[in-house]
Amino acid sequence: MRHPTLRRAVVAIPFFAAIGLAIRLDHGPIRAPANAAHPGFVLRDETAAAGIHFVHHRPTFDRRIANVEPHVAALGASVSVADFDGDGWSDLYFTNSRFGQPNALYRNRGDGTFEDVAASAGLADLNRPGEGVSMGSIWGDFDNDGREDVLVYRYGYLALFKNLDGRHFQDVTQAAGLRRWVNSNGAIWLDYDRDGLLDLYVTAYFRSDVDLWHLTTTRIMHNSFEFATNGGKNMLFHNLGGGRFNDVTDQLGVGSTRWTLAAASADFNEDGWPDIYLANDYGPEELYLNDHARRFVLSTAGLESESKSGMSVALGDTYNRGRLDVFVTNISERGYLFQNNNLRLNLMSEARGFRNVADAQVADAGWAWGAQFGDLNNDGFNELFVANGFISADRNASYWYAMSKIAGANGHLFEDARTWPAFGNASLSGYERSRVFLNRGLSGWVDVATAVGVTDDYDGRAVALADLSNRGAVDVIVANQNQPAVLYRDYPDSASHWIAFTLVGTRSNRSAIGAEVEVESGGMKQRRIVDGGMGFASQNDRRLHFGLGQHEWVDRCVIHWPSGTRQVLQHLSVDQFHTVTEPAR
C-alpha cells in the first residue's frame, strides 16, 4: 500500500479492536466460567434462630496511634469449634477484643439452639487492662484427660485454660510456663515430636515488647510492604507433660519475625512428621519442614519468590488427589492492587514444591481473610468459603488512595505509625461480599455466594466449619470484625451421601490433632486433617466430614495417626458418624 494514510487506517483497525477487547475482558473472560447452575446446596443465615447474638467489638489503643487505629485494631474477631462438654454436639467459642467486652462460649443444646455459658465456664472475662484483649482461641486436649482445653491468644498475655469437668475451666497459664506477652493473631496445636502430647505454636504480629496501650515508641509498624521482618517472633512451646511447656523456638529454628497472621500444620512432604505452614503479612509464605523433631528447616519450595499479604492458611484436597493443598488469602482491590490468593497444589513429594493454580475466580476475593475448604454440597469435591472486607466505614471515603502513597515510601518512613495519613472515617476495602467458590474440578471454580444465600457484607475475619446438627452437612460460622457473627446452616442436596469420623487418639494425642484421613470411594480419593487451628483465627470441627456424591459405599478408609500408626478400615456404612479409636501398635 503506497498511501500512508491508508496504511495507518489498516493498522488502526486492530489497534482499536485491541482497546475494545480490553474493555470486553474487563467484564470477565470470554470463555464461559464453570457452570454455576445447580450448586447442590443452600446456606441459610440462621444466626438469630440459633440464639447466637455475639457482636465483636474492636479494641482501642494508645491515642498516639489514633491516626491508624482503624488499621491496627482491625483484627480480633475469631471463632473456634470444640465439643467442650463431650455431649457429642459441637460448640462455638467467639472472642471479643475490647476491654470489658466478654468472649462467648455457645453450648450446643442439640436442638438447633445455643446458650452462652462463657461466664459460668470462666471463659468470658478475658479482655482486661494489663492482660490484653483476645484475638483468637484453639482447643486441644493438652493433658490427654479426655476433655478439650483451650488456649486464648491475645494482644497481651497468652491464657491457657484447663477443662475441669466439661463445664468449668481453670486458668493454668502460669503453671504451664506460658505466661508470655505476645501480640498474637494465631496459634495452632500440633504434636511436632509425636510423643502423644500436644505442643503449641504461637504466631506473633506486632513485636512482643510492644504494649499497644502504653507505647514507648510509635515505630511499631512493618518496615516493608513486601519483605518485612521486623514483626513479633513466633514461638514453639514443647509440651513436657504434667501440664508444663517450655520454649524451644530457637532450638528448633521456627522463630519467624515476618508478621505471621496464620499458621497450619500437616505432613506436607509425607515423611511422617508434621510441618508448619505460615501466611505472613507483608512478606512471602513460609514452610518449615520438620526434620524428625530435631529441628525445622525453612523450605525452599518456591514460596520465597512471591511476596504478598498472607492472611489465612487453609488445607484441603482440591482435586481429590489424596493430598493436602494450601489456600492462602491475599488482597485484591480493583485498579490498585491484585496480589491474588494462592491455591497451591501440594507437589512436595515429587517436586519439592507447590504449583499455584488459582484461576481468576479464586484469585480475587477482595481483601480476603479467613477461608476454609469444605464439601458444602456433599458431591465429593471441596468448596471454598472465603470471608473478606477490611474496614467498612464511610462508603464514600476510601483509604486506598492514601495507602497507595504510603506503600511507595521507604520502610523507615511508614514503620512509624505517626507518619501514616489519618484514617478518619474512611473505608478500606469495606462492604465486601463473602465468596463461596463452587468446585467444578478441572472446569474451574465459580462464585455462587449470592445464589446459595450468602449475601452479607460484613468485615469477615474468621471462618469455621462444623456439622452443628450432626446431620451430615457442613455449617459455616463467620466471626466478623466489630460486627455480629453469622451462622450459615448448610442444606446440601439430600440425594448425596456422606460419611464422618470422630477420632480418638491413644498413642497419639487424645484430640487426634494432626491425624489425616483418606477416604476412597468410587474412584475418588479424598484427604482431610484434624486441625489444631486453621484458616485465620479459627479452628474447625474436630470431626472429619466427607461428601460422597452418589456413592453409597466407601471402598477404603486409611487413617494416618500422628503417632505414625496407619489404620485401614473397610466396609463402612455411609450417612453416619464413625468413632474410631487409635489401635495399639
- Hey, what's the cell of 15? 489497534
- Nearest approach in angstroms of CB 399 to another protein is 11
Which residues, other chains included, contact 203 with Cβ-Cβ below 8 Å and sequence gap of 6+? 184, 185, 186, 187, 232, 234, 260, 261, 262, 263, 278
For another protein, give the closer residue by CB, 14 or 129: 14
Q: Least distance from C-beta 81 to another protein, angstroms?
A: 32
Cα–Cα distances (Å) from 534 to 76, 176, 186, 231, 288, in that order, read 15, 23, 9, 21, 16
Grid cell in block for residue 518: 483418606
Contact status: 257 vs another protein (CB under 8 A): no
- Alpha-carbon distance 262 to 463, whole Å? 13
Other CB atoms within 10 Å distance of the CB of residue 87? 13
Give me the least distance between CB of 280 and another protein, in Å please. 14
Residue 442, judged by CB atoms within 10 A of its CB (0-12, 13-18, 19+), counts as: exposed
Minimum gap (Å) between residue 351 Cβ and another protein: 17
Piece in contact with another protein (CB under 8 A), picked from 52-60, 121-129, 317-325, 397-405:
397-405
Q: How far is the CB of 20 from another protein (least distance, A)?
A: 9
Q: What is the DSSP letter of 535?
A: B
What SS3 class is residue 394?
A: strand
Interface with another protein (CB under 8 A), residue from 128, 405, 471, 566: 405
Is the Cβ of residue 187 or residue 303 nearer to another protein in the bound state? 303
Site track 177-216 with another protein (rule: CB under 8 A), x = hit: ----------------------------------------
Q: Which of 349, 404, 455, 570: binder of another protein (CB under 8 A)?
A: 404
Q: Can you tell me which of 406, 451, 572, 574 binds another protein, judged by CB under 8 A?
A: 406
Which residues within the stretch 210-239 sit at the binding site for another protein (CB under 8 A)? Answer: 223-227
Q: What share of the chain is helix, strand, coil (3-state, %, to 5)?
A: 15, 40, 50
Stretch that binds another protein, among 258-266, 333-341, 540-548, 568-576 (CB under 8 A): 333-341
> Measured from the CB atom, is 410 or 494 closer to another protein?
410
Separation of alpha carbons 91 and 114, rounded Å: 8
For another protein, the closer of residues 164 and 406 by Cβ is 406
Of 356, 469, 502, 567, the residue at the interface with another protein (CB under 8 A) is 356
d(CA 39, CA 559): 30
Binds another protein by CB under 8 A, chosen from 419, 469, 470, 502 = 419
Total residues contacting another protein by CB under 8 A comes to 59
Q: Is 306 or 555 the residue whose CB approaches another protein more closely?
A: 306
Interface region with another protein, contact rule CB under 8 A, candidates 300-308, 429-437, 478-486, 537-545: 300-308
| Chain centre to alpha carbon of residue 490 | 19
Beta partners for residue 519, in sequence order: 526, 557
CB atoms near residue 358 (< 10 Å): 18
Contact 180/165 with Cβ under 8 angstroms? no
214, 401, 471, 583: which one binds another protein (CB under 8 A): 401
Residue whose CB is less far from another protein, 338 or 352: 338
Which residue in 86, 88, 129, 408 binds another protein (CB under 8 A)? 408
Using CB under 8 A as the binding rule, whether residue 305 contacts another protein is answered as yes
- Pick between residue 227 and residue 431 the one whose CB is nearest to another protein: 227
Q: What is the DSSP string of 181-204?
A: EEE-SEEEEE-TT-SSS-EEEEE-
- Binding segment toward another protein, per CB under 8 A, in 74-82, 90-98, 132-140, 304-312: 304-312
Residue placing its CB nearer to another protein in the complex, 300 or 579? 300
Sign of CA dihedral 316, 317, 322, 326: negative
N- to C-terminal Cα separation, the chain: 84
Residue for grid cell 508444663: 244
Of 272-280, 298-306, 501-509, 517-525, the segment contacting another protein by CB under 8 A is 298-306
Q: Name which of 47 and 307 has its Cβ closer to another protein.
A: 307
Query: Cell digits for 295?
Result: 529441628
Question: Binding string to another protein for residues 335 to 354, with x set by CB under 8 A, is what?
Answer: xxxx-x--------------
Pull the grid cell for residue 283: 512478606
Pair 532, 200: CB distance under 8 Å:
no
Nearest distance from C-beta of residue 258 to another protein, angstroms:
13
What order of strands is seen across the sheet that includes strand 244-247? 186-190, 199-203, 235-241, 244-247
Which part of the chain contacts another protein (CB under 8 A), choosing from 51-59, 240-248, 326-334, 370-378? 326-334
Closer to another protein at the Cβ: 364 or 375? Answer: 364
Bridge partners, residue 79, by sequence: 94, 538
Amino acid identity at 120: S
Q: Which three cell numbers stand for residue 313?
A: 492458611
Local structure of residue 576 (DSSP, 8 states): S
Q: Which is nearer to another protein, 325 or 531 (CB)?
A: 325
Binding site for another protein (CB under 8 A): 4, 7-8, 10-12, 14-15, 18-19, 21-23, 25-27, 223-227, 304-307, 332-338, 340, 356, 358-361, 363-364, 396-397, 400-402, 404-414, 419-421
